[in-house]
Structure 1
């Protein structure tokens, strides 16, 4: 559909249902769904706060496009419809994530903390996972705890992996069904997010195709699938653990009625959420009438500045299960990625020598000195000792390097996983600084200015501390190692 054409009409079944539910408020929702959707951006590597020890300051090229703050989260701002943030070079460096503003409330509800074990069960495309990673202070030198991002669809899990890489979030990434994960990972997580696949009514003005795909039958089918996913999530949650359930739809069958079913069939308590500006309490009268359903929250686009959303926070009853827990809540159970192996003694010696040469002798943690080998790729181990045998694992952690014959080559994900404000930046002594215009050229694959190097070495390319990738300087030239599949020719410096 072109930008100037009208959206498809609202589905008659949806109109009838919302007219019945909302009564005199239905015209307000109808008109809101024909209005323009809101745009927003969540800062990631940069911050509006004065916190030089963790995040970088906002470059002026970004700051000039930021509008009012999104009131239910931090470091997020509304932007205009024509703000070119998706085309700025800073987008490719993971400085921020373009995200629908209502969706930002979901991680606020989950409130992940450093040191916890957190699972994002339906994670693609990665907006919420990367927000969790930021809250857990995810760096190349260890998420403080364990972050697992799962996506069942093969195409979408690769998009998830790409976004985690771009924003530098270290996570275990799996491509599995929730029930298979639940069989392997019972009682493992302190917090689980189920951002459930749904009928998408809340996206009717942002995504006109959602109107065409909607049907009464799809609502029922989604509700049944959501219950299957939630059953698996409860099995993986520890006693005392938190579960956040969210959808981007309006209908009670997928929202209040699903939460009432979950509460009644499992030992789950519905906890109150903040009264965020523009959000309403959920509707007990649209389910079983139990007043605790009002603890969940709804955003109606005629009341709040965002798209339609539903969020509920629940806690698994009982004291924290410590049966397999040691210091900092990390499970003692053993498990490595399927197909993963350790380097041999000879390979470890070669690896250690290469790593010290590449980082100019930086002091590196054990996870980097003794990585996991999957095929020809070397990864840090972000598995948290979860049993992974038989599961489809896209990435067990940060890919540091690939082995090519008898030599190693640094991987792009390693470059993107650090920035100059990390507590320990292993690449600070091997850095190659560019300005914004030069970084745009670097991402197109162009060669870099010579440095006068007298011997070959890898250099970490960055823009004022924001990671861009790798290059290799050799006498007389600097070779661009930016991955060909990620190169863009349409980026702007400001």
Structure 2
């Protein structure tokens, strides 16, 4: 692997950069595999992985070897997420900055494919997470990953950052993992080297400023802003921090880090704001940059006062929904298309405000669709962390689970009607048992193609 000479030259004066070992770790071909466990989804066998804990994230594990995640049913059930260890440092930043996570409104602005959003959903368990992705195609994988993670108080939007100011909703925490030139991922994705250039770095820097400028009005006073990239370039990192600090609206926050973590603390040139760099030759993880800020000024996003566009169920429909799922009585139930959905009642008005101004891809948890007097249950319901003990369940082994995930024919000893397919106490999805066959309801677009 030949790294861009312009990149190497630009890093000569950056704190923590060691040219020889930096080049060596990229040439070695070494890959680091890490996962983060879902604390709300523990299998009956406590799905064990061989590896070492990641010091800055209590749910993170370095794996000694990379298994076939595609052929692990617990992966499809949302028991864990495969994520770079460096990115998991977000947990330590928010743990030190927001020690009380109760009832917080959180925005992950550039969220696909969902690594940081699933982490935020685990930390802010009873909060509202709005997970946004501006690129439509990438929003689909974001919906899938957050659905599998299972939290009910999550809204996925597909909007430009400027639209949030128009919506008027404000947040206690905003995470901007900004689109960048990607030099921190060269070891994992060598093909990205061909796309890197100094011009591209400058282009990304301007885009990052625009994104931040658009979203700052939506952050509450004393709110937390976290800015991150997977770039080594100062133009996208410390210089953006100085640009942000120049507004006078922010106080830079330091993060206490043990020396043996080998995370490099740097300081922006003009404002001496603390920043944190991850170099792959000095720790087990990819290239990463992160900085945190407390906002000193009030939010200025006021919205346009549009009326809510949520569609509510009719009285008879609501009774049918609650008869199918009794827990729905404690939630706000609404319709998106033909599907009935629900979210915690306390986030009802925030959802209305977002729905009036933004394009929502997913909100809360889908219950299902009514076909006459029958409810066709949604796959989302099986992936949720809500109790579903009153449904019939059928346990499957690994071979049967993989057949189910491939949407192949199944021969199981199941009860008549709807059944939850369970693998190691984790729901995988629905089947419907008929007198002469079993219908497999695993989503067609999610099925495993690998044999």
* TM-score clears 0.5: yes
2:329 counterpart residue number = 365
Output the CA distance in 2 between the equivalents of 1:24 and 1:282: 11
The runs of at least 4 consecutive aligned structure 1 residues that moved more than 3 Å come to 19-24, 57-60, 333-336, 349-353, 362-366, 381-384, 403-407, 426-429, 446-453, 474-478
Q: In structure 2, do the counterparts of structure 1 residues 475 and 275 end up closer, same or farther at CA, with 3 Å as the change threshold?
A: same
Pairwise CA RMSD = 2.8
1:48 counterpart residue number = none
| Residues 9-408 of structure 1 mapped to structure 2, 5 A cutoff | 9-21=2-14, 25-35=18-28, 36-45=30-39, 55-56=41-42, 59=45, 62-63=47-48, 65-111=49-95, 113-137=101-125, 144-170=126-152, 171-185=154-168, 188-276=170-258, 277-284=261-268, 287-288=269-270, 290-291=271-272, 293=273, 295-317=274-296, 336=308, 338=309, 340-353=310-323, 355=324, 359=325, 362-367=326-331, 371-381=333-343, 384-386=348-350, 387-388=353-354, 389-404=356-371, 407-408=374-375
Q: In structure 2, do the counterparts of structure 1 residues 411 and 31 end up closer, same or farther at CA, with 3 Å as the change threshold?
A: same
Q: In structure 2, do the counterparts of structure 1 residues 233 and 271 end up closer, same or farther at CA, with 3 Å as the change threshold?
A: same
Output the CA distance in 2 between the equivalents of 1:352 and 1:384: 18
1:3 counterpart residue number = none
Give the drift of 1:405: 5.7
Give the drift of 1:29: 1.6
Give the drift of 1:476: 4.9
Structure 1: runs of 5 or more not aligned: 1-6, 46-53, 138-143, 325-332
2:408 counterpart residue number = 446
Structure 2: runs of 5 or more not aligned: none
* Contact 1:110–1:191 (8 Å) recurs in 2: no
Output the CA distance in 2 between the equivalents of 1:458 and 1:341: 27
Give the drift of 1:373: 1.1
What are the Cα deviations for residues 435-471 of structure 1, in whole angstroms up to 9, with x where unaligned?
3332122212234445474xx5322221232110011
Output the CA distance in 1 between the equivalents of 2:64 and 2:211: 36
- Residue 210 of structure 1 aligns to a residue in which SS? helix
- Residue 180 of structure 2 aligns to a residue in which SS? coil
* Contact 2:45–2:424 (8 Å) recurs in 1: no
What are the Cα deviations for residues 266-315 of structure 1, in whole angstroms up to 9, with x where unaligned?
4110011121512011233xx32x33x2x221111121211111111100
Output the CA distance in 1 between the equivalents of 2:89 and 2:221: 24
Which range is displaced more, 379-388 or 238-247? 379-388
Output the CA distance in 2 between the equivalents of 1:371 and 1:260: 45
Q: In structure 2, do the counterparts of structure 1 residues 100 and 23 end up closer, same or farther at CA, with 3 Å as the change threshold?
A: closer
* Contact 1:445–1:484 (8 Å) recurs in 2: yes
Output the CA distance in 2 between the equivalents of 1:177 and 1:396: 18
Q: In structure 2, do the counterparts of structure 1 residues 385 and 107 end up closer, same or farther at CA, with 3 Å as the change threshold?
A: farther
Give the drift of 1:406: 5.8
What are the Cα deviations for residues 159-209 of structure 1, in whole angstroms up to 9, with x where unaligned?
1001111221331010000011122135x1111100111111111111112
Q: In structure 2, do the counterparts of structure 1 residues 23 and 427 end up closer, same or farther at CA, with 3 Å as the change threshold?
A: closer
* Contact 1:427–1:460 (8 Å) recurs in 2: no
- Residue 159 of structure 2 aligns to a residue in which SS? coil
* Contact 1:451–1:478 (8 Å) recurs in 2: no
Output the CA distance in 1 between the equivalents of 2:137 and 2:445: 16
Q: How many residues align?
A: 437
- Residue 367 of structure 2 aligns to a residue in which SS? strand
* Contact 2:321–2:328 (8 Å) recurs in 1: no
Output the CA distance in 1 between the equivalents of 2:176 and 2:248: 16
Q: In structure 2, do the counterparts of structure 1 residues 205 and 166 end up closer, same or farther at CA, with 3 Å as the change threshold?
A: same
- TM (norm. structure 1) is 0.81
